[in-house]
Structure 1
């Protein structure tokens, strides 16, 4: 008999605003890189991990290094992410972020102990709606969190849980 977790609403987590406040205040990303502001080109090229939307032309943004797993782990990866240079309010909506809610994407699954669950990692190769795919993954009894990533560079976009 397979146990199925009861489904609840999706909880989307952008980069923590406290972490971003520290980066903005210190002027470094904590991985040895200075925050270097530049004007966004716009047109859907820079997905912002602070507010989970694409940068608008001319907005002041920066490319920093970020590790979505903040504790010692063999699955801890540091990678590039775009953020607003000034505080923007973060992501506060229900459900997946509208501008980053479709594929193509890589969905990496993690167990409750933060170990990667390779059995459920998923490639969404087309422009499919990610919501039902993520709901299905999070309904698996051995999946606690889904990291949504870009396909080619596999950069972290946001994480999703049901709590």
Structure 2
């Protein structure tokens, strides 16, 4: 399947620009930490869903992909640009630089709970598309979180195109 054909079935979400602007303005992330400058060349940036280059000014912050409080809400480290960037077009399909494994895909219901039957692993170099299609067809799933398989860090989330952001 091509990225263009897939874009009609789901949306891909980086960390929202307004959330990152609050972190930059306040000088504190969701966990109360100061954004920490970090040499992250080659690491995925969660603001624009591409890999950092040596020329990028990057900071490490804590992020909670689930907004609602629940036992499944996790806060973890992510790399983002130190200053505002163009972000990622949610309808552009899977981001080319971070669409292959090794990845763990975890499906969450509308109430923020993890659906333990909706967890898939994708091997090194494999496209996440087929596993993502399978998970997005599970009734009752609101979103799928794409994570690094080894580090378990949140990378981005995917929602069915018909889902309403909340």
TM exceeding 0.5: yes
Who is 1:122 aligned against?
Answer: 120
Map Cα deviations across residues 67-122 of structure 1 (whole Å, 9 max, x no partner): 10111111000000000000001111511111000111000111122210001201
Q: What is the TM-score of this pair, normalised by structure 2?
A: 0.87
Structure having the higher Rg = 1
Q: 2:37·2:59 contact (CA, 8 Å) conserved in 1? A: yes
Does residue 51 (structure 1) correspond to residue 55 (structure 2)? The answer is: no
Match of 1:87 among 84, 87, 93: 84
d(CA) in 2 for partners of 1:62, 1:35: 6
Q: 1:149·1:155 contact (CA, 8 Å) conserved in 2? A: yes
d(CA) in 2 for partners of 1:37, 1:122: 33
Who is 1:72 aligned against?
Answer: 69
| Shift of residue 41, structure 1, vs aligned partner | 4.9
Larger deviation, residues 15-24 vs 89-98? 89-98
| Alignment gaps of 5+ in structure 1 | 1-7
| Shift of residue 123, structure 1, vs aligned partner | 1.1
Who is 1:20 aligned against?
Answer: 20
d(CA) in 2 for partners of 1:104, 1:59: 24
Who is 1:110 aligned against?
Answer: 108
d(CA) in 1 for partners of 2:112, 2:34: 29
d(CA) in 1 for partners of 2:99, 2:88: 13
RMSD over equivalenced CA pairs, Å: 1.4
Q: What is the TM-score of this pair, normalised by structure 1?
A: 0.88
Moved over 2 A (4+): none
| Shift of residue 15, structure 1, vs aligned partner | 0.4
Match of 2:141 among 140, 143, 163: 143
Does residue 162 (structure 1) correspond to residue 160 (structure 2)? The answer is: yes
